[in-house]
Structure 1
Amino acid sequence: MDAIELVAIPDLVLPPKFKMPEFESLTGPASRWYNQLSRAQVRSWKDLASSFLNQYKHMIDMIPDRITLQNMEMRSDETLLFLITVFVLDLIAFGLAVAAEQTRSTANIVKDSEINYNYCVYDSDIATSYGVGAFLLLMGSQALIMLASRCFCCGKALNPTGSRTWAVILFIFCWLFFLVAEICLVAGSVRNAYHTKYRTIFGEQPPSCETVRKGVFGAGAAFIFLTAIVNKLYYICYSDATENKHSL
């Protein structure tokens, strides 16, 4: 078989010392496409080039242009800025919860001036303010994550990829940790603000000065920490699944 029989171009004139390329290197779809070309379709090198471009034009369309790359870079910068903002909110909420645990109110039993009654005297209620602040900041960060991801279930369906699977799992744990943290903060704030009002007559059983238990705000801080990690991982997986859907 000579060189002319290897191509679909009739009346091909090869220059002196022309080395025939190894067409056997074509495999798979490219080889099948080349072998099915007929002489009616390809009469010159220009026809061959046009046929090749028409066959693989979709590959050119898949290559991102400069504007697309710039938009992708902008989205990456916006995502990073968004995650930093949410992280700052979570960090402040964590700090407030820790401060609430350390400054939770205590009470002492005191006798009145005439030594007729026993009653409870409480110190500062600043821990209640810390707990409420942590509650609101954590709620704000969670709301930002859910709005950005359209609460996962309100947006368009994502393609079944590993990122989507992880996004579903992390979405569930994100809400679980968030709810536990909020319950701890609310319970601690309400309990810390409650003061025993009644008095007892001297000689009777002294009043039980109710205070928030140690560790309630601490548990809230721990679950804030877990929520801060999981909600960002969830958003990253969701964003990755969204980008994969748009690239298909």
Structure 2
Amino acid sequence: MGSLGGRGGASKLVLGISFVFFIIAFGLAIGAESQRSQATQTTDAAGYLICKYSATTATGLAVGALVCLLVAQLFITIVTRCLCCGVAYSPGAARTWAVVAFIISWLVFILAFLILLVGATANEIHTQGYYNRNVTCQQVKKSLFIAGAFLTFITMVLSELYYILISKASSSAAPYGAPPPPIGLATYA
């Protein structure tokens, strides 16, 4: 069962905490897309093109998404002791797929993190005021934050799958008749 105690298996509390952080990150990334800066073009008295950008909260939302994404990913990694510092895992499909999910979740996490970071940085640059001298009005690419949100969601699915699989692998590693060591917050109490 999914308890915190010594019965083994995935902890519902760990899954719940990580899920909340991942969903907040996802929502903030969607919010950043809807709030990204927009440019309006005008010309000044000398005939130069002036780009005026709307001040938005997209940068703050994207940074919030980055923080929540990082907290959720690190939380699951720390709770499971990063595959290397914990209990012995029984060989089998659960352990194999857990390792695969772990590696892919970190690769997708890095992509999501970088996309959100680039979007936050670009949005901040484009809200700094006016640009002139006949330049084009550049804006943050439409759906850049949506790509970050999508990758955040994929990271969530893979990370939680990893946690469930590694919990299964650790609970099946116990000797016959002995209760398996818990994986969850009870370990740190």
With normalisation by structure 2, the TM-score equals 0.83
Cα distance in 2, alignment partners of residues 161 and 120 from structure 1 = 59
Relative distance call for 1:147 and 1:71 in structure 2 (3 A) is closer
- Note the 1:234-245 alignment, pairs <5 A: 234-245=162-173
Letter in 2 for 1:155: G
Q: Identity of paired residues, percent?
A: 38
The Cα of 1:71 is off from its aligned counterpart by 4.1
| 2:106 is equivalent to residue 106 of structure 1 | no
Question: Alignment partner for residue 142 of structure 2, among 208, 214, 227?
Answer: 214
User: Residues of 1 paired with 2:123 and 2:60: CA distance?
Assistant: 10
Give the alignment's Cα RMSD to 1 decimal.
2.2
Q: Which runs of 4+ in 1 moved over 4 A?
A: none
Q: Which amino acid is 2:108 matched to?
A: F
Contact in 2 for aligned 1:132/1:189 (Cα 8 Å): yes
C-alpha displacement at 1:81, in angstroms? Answer: 1.1
- Match in the other structure for 1:199: 132
Q: Which amino acid aligns with 2:6?
A: M
Rounded to whole Å, the distance in 1 between the matches of 2:140 and 2:84 is 38
1:112-131 equivalences in 2 (<5 Å) = 112=44, 114=45, 116-131=47-62
2:184 matched to which residue of 1?
none
Measured after TM superposition, the shift of residue 115 of structure 1 is 5.3
Higher RCO (C-alpha under 8 Å, 6+ residues apart): 2
| Alpha-carbon shift at residue 155 of structure 1 (Å) | 2.5
The structure-2 alpha-carbon separation of the partners of 1:101 and 1:71, relative to structure 1 and needing over 3 Å to count, comes to closer
Q: Distance in 1 between matches of 2:30 and 2:125?
A: 20
Q: Which whole-Å CA distance do the structure 2 matches of 1:176 and 1:123 have between them?
A: 34
Separation (CA, whole Å) in 2 of partners of 1:208 and 1:140: 38
Asked if the contact 2:29/2:146 (under 8 Å) is kept, the reply is: yes
Determine if the alignment matches structure 1 residue 96 to structure 2 residue 28.
yes
Shift of 1:209: 1.7
Equivalent residues, number: 172
**TM-score, normalised relative to structure 1:** 0.64
Aligned to 1:55: none
Displacement of 1:172: 1.1
How has the CA–CA distance of structure 1 residues 217 and 70 changed in structure 2, closer, same or farther, with 3 Å as cutoff? closer
1:1-248 matched pairs, under 5 angstroms: 71-72=5-6, 79-112=11-44, 114=45, 116-195=47-126, 197-200=130-133, 206-248=134-176
Compute the displacement of 1:111 (Å): 2.8
Determine helix, strand or coil for the equivalent of 2:6.
helix
Partner of 1:63: none
Q: What whole-Å deviation, never above 9, does each CA across 1:127-163 have from its counterpart, x for those lacking one?
A: 1111110011000000100000111123244221221
The structure with more radius of gyration: 1
Structure 2 Cα separation of the partners of residues 71 and 215 of structure 1 = 43
